[in-house]
Amino acid sequence: MTEIIQGRVRANGIDFVHLEAGDGPLALCLHGFPDTAWGWEPLLADLAAAGFRAVAPFMRGYAPSSVAADGRYQTGVLALDAIALHEALGGDDTAVLIGHDWGALATYGATVHEPGRWRRAVAASVPPASVMGPALLDYDNLKHRFWYQFFFCNPLSDVAVAMNDLAFIERLWADWSPGLDAGPHLPRVKDALREPANLTAALSYYRQTLGGIGQDPAIADVQAATFQTPSIPVLYLHGTDDGCMPCPEVSTLAAALPGEGSRVELVQGAGHFLQYEAPQRVNRAIVEFLTA
């Protein structure tokens, strides 16, 4: 059985706590909201067995990683985190990057801004901007799916999300991944966000990226990169029953990815947290793509 160890590394002004398994080329796994590095635990083991050094950090602001002293949480900073972690962990041009949800946006940004660091990339549940943009502006999606993003831009959300032991997060998981038994996973997610500073940090991802609040003009180029298409091969994964981000057509997704070497795979019957719902199918697709 593959041993998952816990480590700590300083990168881009953050003390990142991370889970790690294996030895070999770096495979950096970035989680989204509301989630933690533990969501990648089965994948870390499979990547280690495939010959990678698989590392999953708790993203900035998510305990036990530190909150940002400078208060920066926009997607451009998340991309710079991935690049800094690549450096701090001794990655080279054989490294690969995997991202889910906010981690997917960080993956796009890091691979566009510094493509020479990464051989291949995997993104899940949040498509590139050319696909996500029209979905984000659709009336029905705004009404039924994306309301929470704009609610999070209001400071009142700090109070609402924290109420009743973060029951708001339980409801999101139930809506986004219908049928998933989230009980075994939610305690870890709540632990990462229970302290007010951590919850405010996680909500600030939305405030700074969607609301434009506190964006750093010095990294405008990196911020723009998070909404561009990588030039390296990308595997894109999406659950067909995703209650958060509507599942696009395969042809639409394929047209948004680099032509040579990229792939799209829809995970039938899975929702937004597809790595929890269908770990065998998801992990197999990722390992096969990254070892090709």
Q: What is the mean pLDDT of each run of 10 residues along the chain (292 residues)?
A: 93 98 98 98 98 98 98 98 98 98 98 98 96 91 94 97 98 96 95 98 96 91 96 98 95 92 97 98 98 94
End-to-end CA distance of the chain: 24
Token code pair at residue 76 = 């451009």
Please name the amino acid found at residue 19.
L
Give the residue among 269, 285, 58, 280 at the shortest CA–CA distance from 180. Answer: 269
Sheet with 118-124: list strands edge to edge.
Answer: 5-11, 14-21, 53-57, 26-30, 95-100, 118-124, 234-239, 263-267
Q: The tokens 């003009």 sit on which residue?
A: 217
Phi-psi region of 100 (alpha: psi -120 to 50; beta: other; left: phi over 0): beta
As a whole number of angstroms, the distance between CA 151 and CA 157 comes to 6
Name the pairing type of β-strands 26-30 and 53-57: parallel
Compute the distance between CA of residue 231 and CA of residue 226 in angstroms, rounded to an integer. 13
Rounded to whole angstroms, the Cα distance separating 139 from 273 reads 24
- Tell me what pLDDT residue 227 has: 94
Domain range enclosing 16: 5-290
Cα→Cα distances 270→52, 125, 246, 254, Å: 26, 11, 12, 20
Can you tell me the distance from the alpha carbon of 74 to that of 206, in angstroms, rounded to the nearest whole number?
A: 8
How many domains does the chain divide into?
1
Residue 221: other Cβ atoms inside 10 A: 11
If one counts every other C-beta atom within 10 angstroms of the C-beta of residue 115, the result is 15
**Nearest-CA neighbor of 198 among 6, 33, 7?**
33
Cis, bond preceding 25 (omega within 30 deg of 0): no
CATH of the domain at 90: 3.40.50.1820
